[in-house]
Structure 1
Amino acid sequence: MAGLYDELLVLLHGIWSRRWIALAVAWGVCMLGWLGVSLIPNGYESKARVYVNTQSLLEDKIGITQVQSQQDLDRVRQTLLSAENLEKVVRGTDLAQTIAGPRDVAGKITTLREHITVLAQADPSMIDISATSADSGLSDGANARIAQQVVQKLIDIFQEENLTGGRTETRQSLAFLDQQIAGRGKQLEVADKRRVEFAQRYASVLPGAGTISQRMDAARLEINNIDAQLVQAQSALSAMNGQLAGTPATLPGMTVGGGVSPLAQAQSDLAAMRARGWTSNHPDVIAAQRQVDNLRRQGGGSAAAVGGTPNPAYLSLKSMQAERAATVQALSTRKAQLQADLNTMTAHQIDEPGVASEQEKLDRDYAALQTQYDKLLADREEIRLRGDVKTETGAVQFRVILPPSLPNAPAAPNRPLLLLGVLIVGIGAGVGVAFAIGQLKGTFPTAARLERAVGIPVAGSITQVASTAQVALDKQRMKWFAGASGGLAALCLLLIVVEFIQRGTA
Structure 2
Amino acid sequence: MNELYEQILAALHSVWNRRWLALAVAWIVCLAGWLVVAMIPNSYESKTRIFVQLEDVLAQQVGIGSGSIKRDIERVRQTMTSSVNLEKVIRSTHLGDEITTPREMESAVAGLAKQIQVKSEKENLFEITATSGRSDFSDGENAKLAQDIVQKMIDIFREENLSGSRGEMRETLAFLDQQLAARQKELESAEQKRLAFEAAHPQLIGGAQGLSQKLDNTSDAVRNIEADLAAAQSALAAIDQQLAGTPRTLVVAGQAGGPRGALAQAEADLTAMRARGLTDNHPDVISANKQIAALRKQAASAGGEAGTPNPAYSSLLSIRADRQATIQSLQVRKAGLQAQITAIAANQTQEPGVAAEAQRISRDYDVLRQQYDKLLQDREQLRLRGQVETERNAIKFEVIDPPSAPRVPVAPNRPLLLLGVLVLGIGAGVGAAFAIGQLRSTFATANGLERAMGMPVLGTISLALTDAARSVRARRNKQFIAAGAALGALFVILLATEFIQRGSVA
Q: Verify same fold: TM over 0.5.
A: yes
Task: Give the structure 2 partner of residue 493 of structure 1.
Answer: 492
Does residue 36 in structure 1 map to residue 39 in structure 2?
no
Q: Which one of the candidate residues 448, 463, 473 is aligned to 1:465?
A: 463
How far off its partner does 1:168 sit? 2.3
What code does the residue aligned with 1:5 have?
Y
Does residue 208 in structure 1 map to residue 205 in structure 2?
yes
What code does the residue aligned with 1:103 have?
R
Q: How does 1:306-455 map to 2 (within 5 A)?
A: 314=317, 317-346=320-349, 348-349=351-352, 356=356, 366-441=365-440, 443-446=442-445, 448-449=447-448, 452=451
Task: Give the structure 2 partner of residue 229 of structure 1.
Answer: 225
Percent identical residues: 42
Paired residue secondary structure (1:98): coil
Does residue 95 in structure 1 map to residue 95 in structure 2?
yes
| Contact 2:446 2:460 survives alignment (8 Å) | no
Counterparts of 1:191 and 1:391, CA distance in 2: 38
Change (3 A) 1:359 1:467: farther
What code does the residue aligned with 2:161 have?
N
Change (3 A) 1:406 1:238: closer
How far off its partner does 1:392 sit? 0.7
State how many pairs are aligned: 455
Task: Give the structure 2 partner of residue 157 of structure 1.
Answer: 156
How far off its partner does 1:495 sit? 0.9
| Contact 1:234 1:328 survives alignment (8 Å) | no
Change (3 A) 1:141 1:241: same
Task: Give the structure 2 partner of residue 76 of structure 1.
Answer: 76
Counterparts of 1:485 and 1:394, CA distance in 2: 68
Does residue 167 in structure 1 map to residue 166 in structure 2?
yes
Counterparts of 2:371 and 2:476, CA distance in 1: 98
Counterparts of 1:453 and 1:187, CA distance in 2: 108
What code does the residue aligned with 2:493 have?
L
| Contact 1:223 1:339 survives alignment (8 Å) | no
Change (3 A) 1:373 1:466: farther
Counterparts of 2:211 and 2:439, CA distance in 1: 110
How far off its partner does 1:35 sit? 0.9
Change (3 A) 1:245 1:399: closer
| Contact 1:230 1:331 survives alignment (8 Å) | yes
Task: Give the structure 1 partner of residue 130 of structure 2.
Answer: 131
Paired residue secondary structure (1:129): strand
Counterparts of 1:397 and 1:235, CA distance in 2: 72
Let me know the Cα RMSD of the aligned residues: 4.1
How far off its partner does 1:220 sit? 3.8
| Contact 1:223 1:338 survives alignment (8 Å) | yes
Counterparts of 1:269 and 1:175, CA distance in 2: 100
Q: Deviations over 1:53-102 (max 9, x none)?
A: 44433224334334543443343334322222222222222333232122
Paired residue secondary structure (1:130): strand
Per mean C-alpha deviation after superposition, the further-off stretch among 54-63 and 485-494 is 54-63
Paired residue secondary structure (2:97): helix
Counterparts of 2:495 and 2:225, CA distance in 1: 111
Counterparts of 2:84 and 2:241, CA distance in 1: 99
Counterparts of 1:348 and 1:112, CA distance in 2: 78
What code does the residue aligned with 1:229 have?
I
What code does the residue aligned with 2:376 have?
L
Paired residue secondary structure (2:34): helix
| Contact 1:216 1:342 survives alignment (8 Å) | no
Task: Give the structure 1 partner of residue 297 of structure 2.
Answer: none
| Contact 1:120 1:127 survives alignment (8 Å) | yes
Unaligned runs of 5+ in 2: 263-301, 306-312
Counterparts of 2:391 and 2:193, CA distance in 1: 44
Counterparts of 1:29 and 1:110, CA distance in 2: 35
What code does the residue aligned with 2:42 have?
N
How far off its partner does 1:477 sit? 3.0
| Contact 1:41 1:135 survives alignment (8 Å) | yes
What code does the residue aligned with 2:341 have?
L
Per mean C-alpha deviation after superposition, the further-off stretch among 235-244 and 493-502 is 235-244
| Contact 1:167 1:387 survives alignment (8 Å) | yes
How far off its partner does 1:493 sit? 0.8
Does residue 58 in structure 1 map to residue 58 in structure 2?
yes
What code does the residue aligned with 1:143 have?
N
Paired residue secondary structure (1:175): helix
Give the TM-score of the pair, scaled to structure 2: 0.75
Counterparts of 1:414 and 1:47, CA distance in 2: 19
How far off its partner does 1:234 sit? 4.2
Change (3 A) 1:442 1:172: farther
Task: Give the structure 2 partner of residue 279 of structure 1.
Answer: none
What code does the residue aligned with 1:118 have?
V
| Contact 2:204 2:355 survives alignment (8 Å) | no
Per mean C-alpha deviation after superposition, the further-off stretch among 410-419 and 54-63 is 54-63
Change (3 A) 1:463 1:392: same
Counterparts of 1:89 and 1:432, CA distance in 2: 50
